[in-house]
Every structure is written in structure tokens, then in C-alpha cells.
Amino acid sequence: PTVFDVQRIRADFPLLARTVYGKPLVYLDNANTSQKPASVIETVSEHYRQHNANVARAVHQLGDEATAAYEGARDKLARFINATSRNELILTSGTTQATNMVAYSYVLPRLQPGDAVLTTVMEHHANIVPWQLVAQRAGATVKAAPINERGELIVEKFIEMLTPEVKLACVTHVSNVLGTVNPIRELARECRKRGIPLMVDGSQAVPHRPVDVQALGCDFYAMTGHKMLGPTGTGALWARREHLQAMPPFFGGGEMIREVRFDGTTFAEAPHKFEAGTPNIAGFVGLGAAIDYYQSIGFEAIHAWEQQLLSYATERLRDIPGLRIIGEAAEKEPVISFLLEGAQATDLATLLDLEGVAVRSGHHCAHPLMQFYGVPATLRASLAFYNTREEIDAFVTALLKVRKLLL
């Protein structure tokens, strides 16, 4: 058995000690946003207390310190996902900004009427709607590769759908609703053979597993900081250098230019070409601390513990009569969507909240996936490495209690 000192880890997360309605908090909404360790909170606070200045604009000491800390976070992120260069990392407000940047700067200029973007049925709206917006402008379409009842991508169908009109394929690394892990290496290999770039939505993968963008073989990788222990409003787009060189900027403004003239402006090189305006400096400095925190524990230990929790929670839920788990892929990260016969997901979530248990109910920004399963909503318990078996017990006890109130 893995030795994992979860109590010591929990002590690093101040919020986990609080109560809700007088009950100890059981936070199982980690796929929505993670809690933050004290090191992240203190790093952000220390930045504002001691180093606050704008980046890359001032010659004074504070400006240098802020710039070093902000660019240091880019270095950490680049190493964290094994980018070949720090210049391949665009710092964004999150995955949503990253997918929109790719949609407008990469996809739109390449779309002709009749072209397509290929995605899958299990995507988050952030990986559907941007493609629809640009496809509409160009007279192109968005196609979705199907999944099976277990919530796994049907890889052969995906491959069949990689036809010459497809100008970009984009797939989530891990489903935010089902926890399914997609076989990105294989998909990337197939895309590459056909000269179709592959974008990966890494929002739900990066918090749980080591990501190596070179080994994955994709072209673009998007991530969001607030789900990986970092502050809200942080995230990144990694892209191969040749793509970044070929892409026009998405936002225009300060700090992304070489020279501005009314008869023609020239742009800075990537990544700065894509980072107009003052960024979320303190947020990224905090995200750097989040990466340090992951590395101090290590993904091997995190993965082993989370998989134990996932199996335990799945087993306990399967014992509940009338409970249906949605998404039973062979390889999953610790996300469990489920329905309980005779009770609405939102009613259950509201009553669970009164017991101190935070779960999400709803469509999870994945309408097409809900349509596939023919349900309006699910309840979702999503775990992090700071969760415990005792919390899962408390969650199951609360679920059985609130269910009685609804039947």
C-alpha cells in the first residue's frame, strides 16, 4: 500500500479546515476549481507586499523583480509540461482564452467553405463553441467524433473522420464529466500522418498526471491554472514554434509590438506577440508556487493516491441501489458523474451542501455529452490528492441521508 501522508498535505490547504453549515467541509468539486495551498496564497500576497510593479516596462528594481518572477513562472510551466522552449508558452487567462486564440489566429485564416474542425462528443463548451464561431464565419463545420456507452472515444471513428477538409482536430486529454483519459499519443500519431494539427485540452489532465507535450506529439496544448492549485485567471497555451510563428496576434495592444506606426505595425516574437496588455502577474507568480508544490509531492504519489480514492469512491457508490455511474472508461482520472433514481441532481447537490459536501450538479458545460446520455444533468464528485477515504465515507453517508428526504 502507498504511504501517503494526506493529513500532512491537508494542513497545507487552509480552506480545507473550514466548516459549512456547521459541518466539516468535504470538498469534492475539484474539477471545477481546486483549493490552494498556503504557499500559493502567501506567494501572491508576498508579491503584492514586496515586489509589485508592471512587467517588462520599467528599469527600476521592482520592475526587474516582478519581471523575473513572472517570466520565472513561464520557465516553470515550460519545464512542467516539457516544452522544448519557454518561448512556446503563451500565458493566458485559462483554457478558454487558449482555445479562442487558436480558433481566431490559427484556424480561422485556414478555413475555407466546406472545411471542418473535428472535435469529440465529450468536450467542454470551451472546446466546442470557439470552433463553431470561426466555422460559421468561414462557411465551415464542426464535426464530433462519437464515444461509446462507457464514455470512451471510439478511436477508429475519430481516425475515419480525419478527412482532408479537417483543418484542426481537438480533443480533451481528460473529460471533466466522465474522467475518461483519451489516448492522445495515438490520436496525435494519426493526425500527424495526415498532416492535421491536433490541439489538446489539458484542463483536467495537468492537475493529475505528468504531461509531456513532446512525448504526446500534439501541436497545441491548453491548460488552466485554477484547477491545478493556482490562482484564477491564469493558464497557458503551448504550441509548436512553427505554428506560433505563422499565427497573427489575437489581441493587440502594449507589449506585443516591435514598432507601432500608423503606416504599419510590426510585432514582437512569440510568446510576447500573443500577450498584449498587463497580464495577471501576481497570479502567474502564484502559479509558479503551485507547480513547486506539485513537484514537492510528485505525480507518482499523487496518481497512486488519487487512483485509490477513485476506486474506493466508485465501489462505495456502486453499492447504493438505484445509483448509476455515467462514464466507466478503462482509464480514468478521479471524476465520478452519477445519477440517483428518483432524485434530481440539483436537489441532491443542494441538500448535500447542507451536509457540508460540495459537489457539482448540472451539465458541466458539456451539453452534447448530456444529450448523448439522454440526461439533463448529472451529479459530479471530483477528487484531488488532498481528499481522504473518510471524506468519501462522509459523502456516501450524506448521500444516503439526503436521498431519504427526496424519496
For residues 313 and 336, is the Cβ–Cβ distance under 8 A? yes
Cβ proximity of 115 and 108 under 8 Å: no
- Name the E strands within 240-353: 257-259, 266-267, 323-326, 335-340
Which residue stretch of 40-48, 157-165, 199-207, 240-248 sits at the interface with ligand PMP (rule: CB under 6 A)? 199-207
Q: Which of residues 348-377 bind ligand PMP (CB under 6 A)?
A: 365
| Residue nearer to ligand PMP on the CB measure, 124 or 273 | 124
CA 31, distance to chain mean position in Å, is 8
Question: What are the cell numbers at 398?
Answer: 450524506
Based on the shown chain and the rule CB under 6 A, indicate whether residue 204 belongs to the binding site for ligand PMP.
Answer: yes
Site track 147-186 with ligand PMP (rule: CB under 6 A), x = hit? -------------------------x---x----------
Q: Looking at 49-57, 89-97, 248-256, 280-288, which segment touches ligand PMP (CB under 6 A)?
A: 89-97
Measured distance CA(117)–CA(381) in Å, rounded: 31
Instruction: State in angstroms the smallest separation of the CB of 84 from ligand PMP.
Output: 24
228 binds ligand PMP (CB under 6 A): no
Cell 439526503 -> residue: 402
Alpha-carbon dihedral of residues 398, 400, 401, 405, nearest 10 degrees? 130
Q: How many helices (H) and strands (E) does the chain have?
A: 14, 17
Least distance to ligand PMP, CB of residue 98, Å: 8
Q: Pick the stretch among 4-12, 66-74, 90-98, 276-284 that binds ligand PMP (CB under 6 A).
A: 90-98
Q: Which of 326, 361, 367 is nearest to 347 (CA)?
A: 361
Stretch that binds ligand PMP, among 60-68, 122-130, 340-348, 394-402 (CB under 6 A): 122-130
Tell me which stretch binds ligand PMP (CB under 6 A): 120-128, 208-216, 295-303, 353-361. 120-128
Side-chain-facing half-sphere of 261: CA atoms under 13 Å = 4
Whether 339 and 177 have beta carbons less than 8 Å apart is answered as: no
Size of site (CB under 6 A) for ligand PMP: 13
Establish if 124 lies at the interface with ligand PMP (CB under 6 A): yes
List the catalytic residue out of 170, 191, 218, 365: 365
Contact between 96 and ligand PMP per CB under 6 A:
yes
CB atoms under 10 Å from CB of 337, counted, come to 30
Sheet strands (E) in 295-374: 323-326, 335-340, 357-358, 360-362
C-alpha cell at 157: 471513428
Count of alpha carbons within 13 angstroms of residue 227, beta-carbon side = 27
CA distance 200 to 282: 26
Q: Is 374 exposed, middle or buried (0-12, 13-18, 19+ CB in 10 A)?
A: exposed
Q: Is 170 labeled as catalytic in the residue annotation? A: no
Cα end-to-end distance, the chain, whole Å: 39
Q: How far is the CB of 126 from ligand PMP (least distance, A)?
A: 4
Among 35, 100, 119, 203, binds ligand PMP (CB under 6 A): 203
Residue with the three cell numbers 488532498: 386
Question: Site mask, ligand PMP, residues 252-271, x = CB under 6 A?
Answer: --------------------
Q: Among 94, 230, 231, 283, which residue interacts with ligand PMP (rule: CB under 6 A)?
A: 94
Q: Kindly state the smallest distance separating residue 176's Cβ from ligand PMP, in Å.
A: 3
CB atoms within 10 A of CB 130: 24
Nearer to ligand PMP, 354 or 365 (CB): 365
Any contact of residue 30 with ligand PMP (CB under 6 A)? no
Beta bridge partners of 169: 118, 198
b/e per residue 4-14 (b: at least 16 CB within 10 A)? bebeebbebbe
Single out the residue of 12, 115, 201, 275 in contact with ligand PMP (rule: CB under 6 A).
201
Query: Which of 95, 314, 337, 382 is close enough to bind ligand PMP by CB under 6 A?
Result: 95
280 counts as binding ligand PMP under rule CB under 6 A: no
Query: Shortest gap between Cβ of 7 and ligand PMP (angstroms)?
Result: 28
- With respect to ligand PMP, which residue has the nearer C-beta, 66 or 335? 335
Pick from 101, 108, 126, 379: which binds ligand PMP (CB under 6 A)?
Answer: 126
Residues forming contacts to ligand PMP in the complex (CB under 6 A) are 94-96, 124, 126-127, 172, 176, 201, 203-204, 224, 365
Catalytic center residues: 365
